[in-house]
Structure 1
Amino acid sequence: MGKVLSFGELLLRICPDSAGEWLADNTFPVYVGGAEANVAAALSLWEVPSAYLTAVPDNFIARQLVGYLDDLHIDTSAIHYSGERIGLYFLDKGKDLKNAGVIYDRNYSSFSALTPGTIDWDKVLEGVTWFHFSAICPAINQAVAEVCEEALKAAAERNITISIDLNYRAKLWKFGKEPIEILPGLVKYCDVVMGNIWAAEKMLGIPVPENVVEEHQKQTYLQQSEISSKAILDLFPKCKSVANTFRFDHGKGIQYYTTLYTQDQLLVSKEFVAEAIAGKVGSGDCYMAGLIYGFYHQLEAQEVVDFATSAAFAKLFTESDFNTTRKEDIRAIVEPYEMA
């Protein structure tokens, strides 16, 4: 197997506290992130050959960031240097990216300025056997959506396995198109689709009955997961596996379990519950990395979903966007939270 190449925007997460104490202290935490960079970092930590493609300006901050990725043993040779700025987002510590309080500052970033024909895909995809991106990329603007399709066509022509995370960010879809107008044209190239039943409804048009939420029963969610997964496989014949995550907040706590539909069967992970966590950012990306890790190493399907779920739940106990938990430490972290 060759490299796993993750494609997306490198971001900095700025974390002012909601009480405003940062104004007096003149300081707040800054984390390196971005959905696909989070995947690349986790894979590299777990010793999967991991490469990352983004666009950054050619300045000292960008060079420091690329050096940081290099130190994590991520192959940064494909990174494209252009434009004038790195994208930012602001989020209070402990909050979720789906939270209404997230503030994006990504307009006119180097990545958002990418256009078709800019990337030499022959060169970039050399030695790559897995290509990963997320639905955040085409949410930025029409040109970046077209760059995504350009990448997927090039990867498909080379028989490279392709995965997508259907993460929906309402605040990013501002260029006159709805996800349903863009995503089906990209998902048709994908072998592995990860998300949840509501993202599949919003982005791919696969309906979720209202009673699913009203009942709020695990068995109902699992049944809908199988229905939605089968619908994705029917709509997109190239797709072989569909993963759905279920994460519910209970005060400061979390209930978490996932499913993987593959080889005509629905596999269900163990369920985990915690009363308190450190942060939610990057957990889904860690799950995606866990899926890629499992498939990359040709694990049994149940092992794949179990590893990915455990890795994602363990990620909830770290504050940084990047996963910092080694694969050999994951089990010990999550075991106390496993439901019987």
Structure 2
Amino acid sequence: MKKVFCFGELLMRLSPASNGKWIDTATMPVYIGGAELNVANALAKWNIPVKYFTALPDNFLSREIVEDLTNKNIDCSAIHYSGNRIGTYYLTQGADLKNAALVYDRAGSSFADLKQGMINWDSILDDCHWFHFSAICPALNNNIAALCKEALEVASAKGLTISVDLNYRSKLWQYGKQPTEIMPALVNHADLIMGNIWSAESLLGIETALQETKGATRSELINAAERSMAALHQRFPQANTLAYTFRMDSSYWAIMQQEQEQYISKEFALADVIDKAGSGDCFMAGLIYGMLNSKEPAQMINYAAAAAVGKLYERGDATHQSIEDVNKRVLGTI
């Protein structure tokens, strides 16, 4: 059976307790993640065949990680072993990925040191029918942006469906290129584009009049999303599915455009969120899951939004939700 191919850097997340408590206790949880791996984890959990590509050093830590991923039914045969270190990042418990508490330590990692010509994409993608990537990888350096483009060109030539998550990380775009110089050429390959009105502006130059959700009504947010999606579709007409999320202070919902029709998810109440990392990745996985299972658009967007909300109540980067868990949240019974 053909697989969903997820391309991206595996990261170790070190998660210190707030206010320096980790110093006194001399403990800091470590989670294995990375945006694309989080998608792979969710899909594997939901019985979708998945293949993961990253680069890791050939050492005992990598072998333990790969064994764990393999036990979760993730095909790790495409992982490239080279270099000397696994990328890491630090995120204070409970903080947002856009928070000042986020610290990256990814320079010189095995993945960051990859270059064009090192990977036989035609062979690796031969048993795949879907290619997923995010805007995080091209933010690392010129070589990774070029590598991503190289992989996408092969995936397109082989007729794979392509999805992209427009996750914008300002702290990563530090190598002399603006996102709008890099991302449009990559997004040109995408059939499914997911993000929000602000990431579309930061990464693709799709302007929005709204600078934040605070003070905006639901109808104003919907209108802003529709305007942004119209401009996005005009610029990238090959993308037949667009989806934006809105994570508010007390609720979460999403809007999707498919074949020029709009679908808005249920609005899910939020309270006492545990961990904000990986929620968007879970939403992305929900969309892919819905499309591969030929779900109706309304079902798709509700499943994806419910999966994202469920992830907010789990520790770590990857979700442990079953299909039944997500469906119960859609129905309001969890």
TM range (shorter): over 0.9
**Residue in 2 aligned with 1:332?**
328
Letter in 2 for 1:195: G
> Offset of 1:331 from its aligned partner?
3.2
Letter in 2 for 1:121: W
Letter in 2 for 1:321: D
> Offset of 1:71 from its aligned partner?
0.9
> Offset of 1:210 from its aligned partner?
4.0
Query: Distance between the aligned counterparts of 2:136 and 2:326, measured in 1?
Result: 27
Q: Count matched residues.
A: 334
**Residue in 2 aligned with 1:5?**
5
Give matches, 1:273-292, under 5 Å. 273-292=269-288
> Offset of 1:223 from its aligned partner?
1.2
Query: Distance between the aligned counterparts of 1:334 and 1:260, measured in 2?
Result: 16
Give matches, 1:116-127, under 5 Å. 116-127=116-127
> Offset of 1:212 from its aligned partner?
7.3
> Offset of 1:20 from its aligned partner?
1.8
Confirm or deny: 8 A CA contact 2:263 2:301 kept in the other structure: yes
**Residue in 1 aligned with 2:236?**
236
> Offset of 1:99 from its aligned partner?
1.0
Query: Distance between the aligned counterparts of 1:101 and 1:263, measured in 2?
Result: 40
Query: What SS does structure 2 have at the residue aligned with 1:13?
Result: strand
Letter in 2 for 1:325: Q
**Residue in 2 aligned with 1:84?**
84
Given candidates 297, 317, 324, the residue that maps to 2:313 is: 317
> Offset of 1:337 from its aligned partner?
8.9
> Offset of 1:226 from its aligned partner?
1.3
Query: Distance between the aligned counterparts of 1:289 and 1:98, measured in 2?
Result: 21
Runs of at least 5 residues in structure 1 that lack an aligned partner in the other structure? none
> Offset of 1:55 from its aligned partner?
0.4
**Residue in 1 aligned with 2:259?**
263
Given candidates 294, 297, 302, the residue that maps to 1:301 is: 297
Confirm or deny: 8 A CA contact 2:206 2:231 kept in the other structure: yes
Confirm or deny: 8 A CA contact 2:213 2:248 kept in the other structure: no
**Residue in 1 aligned with 2:268?**
272
Query: What SS does structure 2 have at the residue aligned with 1:5?
Result: strand
Query: Distance between the aligned counterparts of 1:10 and 1:210, measured in 2?
Result: 33
**Residue in 1 aligned with 2:169?**
169
Give matches, 1:171-190, under 5 Å. 171-190=171-190
**Residue in 1 aligned with 2:54?**
54
> Offset of 1:296 from its aligned partner?
0.9
**Residue in 2 aligned with 1:37?**
37
Query: What SS does structure 2 have at the residue aligned with 1:279?
Result: coil
Query: Distance between the aligned counterparts of 2:246 and 2:333, measured in 1?
Result: 16
Give matches, 1:54-73, under 5 Å. 54-73=54-73
Query: Distance between the aligned counterparts of 2:210 and 2:23, measured in 1?
Result: 44
Letter in 2 for 1:225: A
> Offset of 1:213 from its aligned partner?
4.8
Confirm or deny: 8 A CA contact 1:44 1:74 kept in the other structure: yes
Query: What SS does structure 1 have at the residue aligned with 2:126?
Result: coil
Letter in 2 for 1:233: H
Query: Distance between the aligned counterparts of 2:327 and 2:2, measured in 1?
Result: 27
Give matches, 1:86-235, under 5 Å. 86-210=86-210, 213=213, 215-235=215-235
Query: What SS does structure 1 have at the residue aligned with 2:243?
Result: strand
* Residues 334 and 14 (structure 1), Cα distance of their counterparts in 2 relative to 1, 3 Å cut: farther
* Residues 323 and 212 (structure 1), Cα distance of their counterparts in 2 relative to 1, 3 Å cut: closer
Percent identity between the two aligned chains: 46
Query: Distance between the aligned counterparts of 1:335 and 1:99, measured in 2?
Result: 32
> Offset of 1:332 from its aligned partner?
3.0
For residues 271-321 of structure 1, the C-alpha deviation after alignment (integer angstroms, 9 at most, x for no partner) is 011221111100000000000000111111111111101111111110110
RMSD of aligned C-alpha atoms?
Answer: 1.5
Query: What SS does structure 2 have at the residue aligned with 1:31?
Result: strand
Confirm or deny: 8 A CA contact 1:313 1:334 kept in the other structure: no
User: 231-240 vs 139-148, which deviates more?
Assistant: 231-240
Confirm or deny: 8 A CA contact 2:210 2:224 kept in the other structure: no
* Residues 109 and 205 (structure 1), Cα distance of their counterparts in 2 relative to 1, 3 Å cut: same
Letter in 1 for 2:209: P
For residues 169-217 of structure 1, the C-alpha deviation after alignment (integer angstroms, 9 at most, x for no partner) is 0100000011111110100010000000011111111111148757511
> Offset of 1:140 from its aligned partner?
0.2
Letter in 2 for 1:324: H
Query: Distance between the aligned counterparts of 2:118 and 2:243, measured in 1?
Result: 32
Query: What SS does structure 1 have at the residue aligned with 2:132?
Result: strand
Query: What SS does structure 2 have at the residue aligned with 1:126?
Result: helix
For residues 125-163 of structure 1, the C-alpha deviation after alignment (integer angstroms, 9 at most, x for no partner) is 011000000000000000000000001100000110000
Confirm or deny: 8 A CA contact 1:3 1:50 kept in the other structure: yes
